[in-house]
Amino acid sequence: MTTIEMTVGDQWSQRLTHREQQVALLIVRGLSNKEVARELGLSYGTVKLHVHRIFQKTGVRNRYSLIIQMSAHNAGRLQPGIA
């Protein structure tokens, strides 16, 4: 089996806080705001604020664009491992 190790990339890691990076990676994994909140132990409103700031800082307009941008950055990063 393989796992996909996602990173936010150097260009975004300098712009996003650690928490924003965590939220972005969970969004790319397909989690909803409620699921992200549960996973990170945050309120739904806090997650919405992080998502809004991620969009502002990265210049993306929606979750789909964020996923596309991060997936393009991570293309070819499949690493063997246990899923």
- For residue range 11-58, list pLDDT tens digits in order: 667 889 999 999 999 999 999 999 999 999 999 999 999 999 999 998
Is there a domain that residue 66 lies in? yes
Is there a domain that residue 83 lies in? no
Contact 82, 6 (CB under 8 A): no
Is there a domain that residue 47 lies in? yes
Which domain range does residue 23 map to? 2-76
Is there a domain that residue 81 lies in? no
Q: Which two tokens stand for residue 43?
A: 């309120």
Is there a domain that residue 60 lies in? yes
User: Residue 62 belongs to a domain with what CATH number?
Assistant: 1.10.10.10
**Number of structural domains the chain divides into:** 1
Would the pTM of this model clear 0.85, i.e. be above it?
Answer: no
- Give CA–CA dist 23/17, Å, rounded: 10
Q: Across the strands, what pairs with 2?
A: 80
Is there a domain that residue 59 lies in? yes
Is there a domain that residue 82 lies in? no
Q: Which residue has the higher pLDDT, 64 or 2?
A: 64
